[in-house]
Amino acid sequence: MTEEQRRGIEQDCARLVALYANLNDAGRWADVAALYAPDGRMARPTAPDEWTEGRDAILAAFLARPARTTRHVCSNVVIDVLSDSEATGESAMLLFTGEGAPKVGSFHDRFVRIEAGWRFAERRGSLTF
């Protein structure tokens, strides 16, 4: 793999992190779920050991949430390219809601390249405070 290819993968995966935050804040749940591989899984920052598995189940989980206004700010995104079809990543997250203090946490991600492009194979959130 060339340096240019590696940087392209890093950029594609970092874009997923940002797109996830923006689509989540917009309440575009079908688009959020589509960022996952069909067999992808997620664990929310408030329940990092409780996995929701499969794109359909992820969509259902988002649809079941009460409506709220949020703004996710993601930074310190570091992507490690493992191969031309796999990568991992970590990012810091700051969540603002209309109620309560902001939440600070992180995401640990596994990315896979499928026919449709790069997607989350796994997205695990955790809260620091």
The reported pLDDT for the residue numbered 64 is: 96
Reduced DSSP (H G I as helix, E B as strand, rest coil) percent helix, strand, coil of the chain, to 5 = 30, 45, 25
Q: How confident is the model at residue 17 (pLDDT cuts 50, 70, 90)?
A: very high
> The dihedral of CA 102, 76, 121, 19: what is its sign?
positive
Number of H helices, E strands in the chain: 3, 6
CA distance 35 to 67: 21
The reported pLDDT for the residue numbered 115 is: 96
Q: What is the pLDDT of residues 43-72, one digit of tens each?
A: 999 999 999 999 999 999 999 999 889 999
Go through the domains of the chain in sequence order and give each one's CATH number: 3-127 (3.10.450.50)
Q: What is the pLDDT of residues 69-111, one digit of tens each?
A: 999 999 999 999 999 999 999 999 999 998 888 999 999 999 9
The reported pLDDT for the residue numbered 98 is: 82
Segment 2-17 mean pLDDT: 97
Torsion of CA 46, 48, 53, 59, to 10 degrees: 20
pTM of the model: 0.94
Exposed/middle/buried for 79, CB within 10 Å: 0-12, 13-18, 19+? buried
Q: Report which residue type is found at 104.
A: V
